[in-house]
Structure 1
Amino acid sequence: MAANDEQTREHARESERRTQFADLIRQRRAELNESLDTFAKKAVDPISGLRVKRGWIYRLETGETVTPPGVEELRALRAACDLPLGRLQDAAGQQFHGVDPLEGASAEATAYVRKLDRVPADQREGLMRLIDTLVPPEE
């Protein structure tokens, strides 16, 4: 009976495993019709020069344990994928940190939200009042 309990717990852990980032990288490489070697050669951060190694990409795509990517690795993979950095950040946040992006938000709305944190608090309050005049708040 203990073996069955362990199998049940292992199955629950497997179903909770998130793969959004790995899926995005694997799918994008397939869309580009590139070998792992070709893709890895393009995975270079244009700012720091950091390279994402072929082995790391292989382990990611095959579901093995990898160290979560930092911003340099994400920029390198952005160069290889030719996708917006925000899309890679969202997928990495989902897979490695359990952070889900805004549900149902358009790309434009997501861009607004990302920029909003850089606006001073008093100006954010003014923006909210303006938005409330255009779209009354829900009750």
Structure 2
Amino acid sequence: MAAEESQERTDLSDLVASRMEELGLSYRRLEELCLDPEAPAAGETGERLWKRGTLENLAKRRRIKTPDLPQLRALAAGLQLDLEQVRAAAGAQFLGIDTVWSEDGRVRALVAGFREMDPEDQDKVLALMQSRRRVRRGG
């Protein structure tokens, strides 16, 4: 697909664009900061996991190849965000998987198409999460 085509979901794109604005980052600077913190000798080899053009395409809601885990770790590091926040946004944008949290924020479920469900079905998912939490606690 051409880079000019827009993504249907833009969760990660929106996160990148808003965080870049908050931090006052250029695409070039973000490229420099996107180093996988788990890579051996991160930053010493000069190998970048993100290119300036790819970051620009992502932030401008153009199609890019689905990023892998090392790229997501590097992006989280560059944007100074929690990896789980970046993973959730990528899962939503590239796989249509929504991260759903229980009311108390202690239970998480990955649900395909949760945002597209009607409110009644969303409530059923949340109730199932709550019931599973009660079972695990023993009552």
Q: TM-score range by the shorter chain?
A: 0.5 to 0.7
Q: 1:46 — aligned with what?
A: 37
The letter for the 2-side match of 1:60 is L
Displaced runs of 4 or more, over 3 A: 103-110, 127-130
The offset of 1:51, in angstroms, is 2.3
Q: Secondary structure of the residue that 2:99 maps to in structure 1?
A: coil
Q: Aligned runs of 1:1-139 on 2, under 5 Å?
A: 17-48=8-39, 49=42, 50-103=48-101, 105=103, 107-110=105-108, 129=135, 131-133=137-139
The letter for the 1-side match of 2:14 is D
Structure number, greater radius of gyration:
1
Return the TM-score normalized by structure 2: 0.65
Q: Secondary structure of the residue that 2:64 maps to in structure 1?
A: coil
CA RMSD of aligned residues (A): 2.8
The offset of 1:37, in angstroms, is 1.1
The letter for the 2-side match of 1:98 is G
The offset of 1:62, in angstroms, is 1.5
The structure with the greater share of residues assigned to helix is 1
Structure 1 distance, partners of 2:23, 2:67, is 21
Residues paired across the two proteins, number? 107
Structure 2 distance, partners of 1:95, 1:42, is 22
Structure 1 regions of 5+ residues with no counterpart? 1-13, 115-126, 134-139
The offset of 1:108, in angstroms, is 3.9
The structure with the greater share of residues assigned to strand is 2
